[in-house]
Chains A and B, each alone.
Chain A
């Protein structure tokens, strides 16, 4: 038995290099409770195989399906169709800002990934000693519980919260105005790497990068990244914390420490 099906209307930005862009309307039947990504899957499967959009995990872990839904950056895989349809009819789906569009909803993430590489962010890190872990607020009925790591494992590990979806880059006004900016995700990555690494040279190199030309001083405190991050990474908070670390180091140097 499948869930009751509902009709959903979408207007999707279609674009091909050299052809300009237009909004195309689609109407598909989807099961109740479906996500916007499922609706795009349905358009692709039943109406138009030429619709280009990125997708992989369908459960907010891979970061591929970040797009603008009714003008707001979200992961299509966890955005309810019903909710989006209530905001705007038809649901408007457009590619991320501040990244070159390859076609339709697909953006070129090469520059973004190059910045992530520069941040030295490794996706696997030691996990917190408590469970549960969540990017959403936990229900009051669930309290954190201590975890004991078995003797023959030196630690439990976990993939980083940042899924490199590009939403923070799309919402950042500094990114929109400034080509050389490393951007929220990479700077948050630098902060995270410095938290986790024991390597002083790497740490110093990363702080210099954050203090450098494309670094933290290009951020203009709009905090849009933190407001939009689907994974609670808090890039803005991390950028401000990096600034504090940079200032502390300069202050120390001033006094010969």
Chain B
């Protein structure tokens, strides 16, 4: 008997990592993606490889997940990471007052954090606001989001997975109360067809709700956009964060030859086309200048808004929603054969994939363990071969 067939919907970071995990466990995997790899939320990423420092006070589950995953990614995809560390910088009394809680939080989550003299910080980051009052160094990093997804998918393909880009899911095919496949339209050929599946994984990010709705299910996922402003120069080597609770415009992520200021947070209905609020851009530039005054001297190269797929719980403010992830086995809703994996961050996508694959394998009686923690990924360049 051949291995069970799993269809993964979405070739963003979660879907890509899930396909990789399942293929490693010996399953037959088909990934369907309506656009290019990483053409949705994952591509338009802030590129931040979280040390967990950002969440160590407000959301310690996320923080622990981040530091563990950052260490794993460092082993399996070292070539597509800039591991230069990050600084949490205090600019006022309120920030300073937060420092002790921050240090405690880092310690509680196992994140190595150390305060460095401000003169040292200014030598490392000469464009940092010279009026900074304190700086704490953490092991933050930066990744290349497109290559991140390509590397997972290239490895999955090497292990037998099939990746069908420009193939859009039009319906979930059900028999009774079981999902038995997906109806897709292949935009390359214009042909509609059905792909049979023993299990379907919904990894459509902020669009996961739309997929679930095809089976008349609701998932508590809120498309929550953020605005990022990319400058046309790189003004910092390390990630620069404001030393305080996460808020709007409190982080500047350097990447390649740019610095990316982020981010804001609001809620939309339709993540397909998100208008960028002009005041958000102005706000990013203003708060970016607080951390790095030279932001005012360079030009804006691009402004981007993209929806995070946040899993909503009881809280009202989108900033307070936990950034950790959730795996929904829809048999709890009375529908077999469908699993939704959502929430989280790119940094945690490998762990999300592991959770989703564990659920899928348990349901398919596959006992192979997860080995993604220790399997180095293939070159992103091999994806297109």
Contacts and interface: CB of A to CB of B under 8 A. Distances in A.
Do the two chains touch directly in the complex (Cβ atoms below 8 Å apart)?
yes
B126 interface: yes
Contact of B82 (A124, A131, A135, A161): A124
B147 A123 contact: yes
A77 to B, nearest CB: 6
B61 interface: no
Interface in A69-109: 77-78, 102-103, 106, 108-109
Question: Do most interface residues of chain A lie in helix, strand or loop, or is the interface mixed?
Answer: loop
B304 interface: yes
B359 interface: no
A13 interface: no
Interface residues of B, number: 74
Contacts of A179: none
A196 interface: no
A191 to B, nearest CB: 18
Interface in B64-88: 78-85
B290 interface: no
Nearest to A116: B381
Given A45-B272, A146-B126, A132 B233 contact: yes
> Most chain-B Cβ atoms within 10 A of its Cβ — which of A110, A116, A231?
A110
A103 B166 CA distance: 10
B256 A161 contact: yes
B188 A131 contact: no
Interface residues of A, number: 69
Interface string A26-49: 000001000100000110111001
B208 interface: no
A50 interface: yes
B257 A135 contact: yes
Contacts of B1: none
A201 interface: no
Interface string B228-241: 10101111111000
Contacts, number: 199
Interface in B184-206: 185, 187-190
Interface string B37-76: 1110011110100000000000000000000000000000
Nearest to B188: A103
B298 A103 contact: no
B36 A55 contact: yes
Interface in B284-307: 294, 297-299, 301-302, 304, 306
21 contacts: A2-B275, A42-B273, A46-B273, A50-B187, A54-B36, A56-B36, A59-B44, A59-B260, A60-B230, A60-B301, A62-B144, A62-B145, A62-B146, A78-B301, A113-B381, A117-B382, A131-B127, A132-B234, A147-B123, A148-B124, A157-B82
Interface of B: 34-39, 42-45, 47, 78-85, 116, 120, 123-127, 137, 142, 144-147, 166, 168, 185, 187-190, 228, 230, 232-238, 255-258, 260, 272-273, 275-279, 294, 297-299, 301-302, 304, 306, 379, 381-385
Interface of A: 1-3, 16-17, 31, 35, 41-42, 44-46, 49-50, 52-64, 77-78, 102-103, 106, 108-110, 113-114, 116-117, 122-124, 127, 131-136, 138-139, 141-142, 145-150, 153, 156-161, 163-164, 231
